[in-house]
Amino acid sequence: MRSNNTFMVESELSAHRLLFNGQQIGTFATLQAAETEAAELAKSVFPGVKLRFELDFKWTLSDLEIRSATLQPASEQPVRS
């Protein structure tokens, strides 16, 4: 069974919410703190994995940004021949 392991950071002016697979992990004062926490959680579950967040959505009228990073466990990564 395949599953996506998606970290998402929803950023507004006052807070940065970190979510994993749709469940809120915490709220942080800075984007860097939220991304750092996501990286620490990912490393604890999947040693050696690295996350790279990318901007998925930005709404300038409300200063909302959504960034996501998806990881695949090593057992689900494609095999090169």
For residue 73, name the pLDDT band (cuts at 50, 70, 90): low
Running DSSP on this structure, what letter comes out for residue 37? H
**Is 78 inside any structural domain?**
no
Q: How many domains does the chain have?
A: 1
**Is 64 inside any structural domain?**
yes
**Is 10 inside any structural domain?**
yes
Above 90 in pLDDT, residue 71?
A: no
Exposed e or buried b per residue across 36-58, where buried means at least 16 C-beta atoms within 10 angstroms of its C-beta:
ebbbebbeeebeeeebebeeeee
Query: 78 versus 71: which is more confidently predicted?
Result: 71
State residue 80's pLDDT score. 47
Cα–Cα distance, 37 to 44 (Å, whole number): 11
Cα–Cα distance, 54 to 63 (Å, whole number): 16
State residue 3's pLDDT score. 61
Q: pLDDT tens digit string along 1-60?
A: 456 789 999 999 889 999 999 999 999 999 999 999 999 999 888 888 888 898 888 887
What is the domain range of residue 51?
A: 5-72
